[in-house]
Amino acid sequence: MSPRNSASEDPAPDIYVGLLFVAVAALITGCIFLALELNSYGWQFN
């Protein structure tokens, strides 16, 4: 695969980029839920 010139050829965001943002938001939300769950145990794993 040949290197691209990102400065000259900056593709326009499409639906997939939006889906990636949705995926990032879902991951962040899931991590927050898990962090809150760990917080309820005092961040102790044993």
Partner 1 sequence: MSYVGKILVIVQVVLSLLFMTFAGGVFAVHQNWKNKYEASQKTVATTEKDLKQAREDAVNAQREFETKLSEQSQNAQKFQAEAVGLKATVEDLKKQNALLQTQRATQTGLAESKANEARFRQEEAEKQRIENEKLQTRINELSAESRELKDQIFTKDVAYKTLNSAYEKGLSQLAYLKEIVSKHGLETNPEVVEKMKAPAPPVEGLVTHLRKNKANRVQFVEISIGSDDGLVKGNELDVVRVYDKENKSEWLGRIRVADLGPDWAVGEVILPSKNGIIQEGDNVTTKLGL
Q: Which helix (H) or strand (E) holds 35?
A: helix 15-40
Q: How many CA atoms lie within 13 A of 13 on its CB side?
A: 5
x-marked contacts with partner 1 along 1-40 as a string, rule CB under 8 A = -------------x-x--xx-xxx-xx-xxxxxx-xx--x
By C-alpha distance, which of 22, 41, 40 is closest to 30?
22
* Residue closer to partner 1 (CB basis): 8 or 43: 43
* Residue closer to partner 1 (CB basis): 8 or 14: 14
User: What is the DSSP secondary structure assignment for residue 43, as one 8-state letter?
Assistant: T
Question: What is the binding site for partner 1 (CB under 8 A)?
Answer: 14, 16, 19-20, 22-24, 26-27, 29-34, 36-37, 40-42
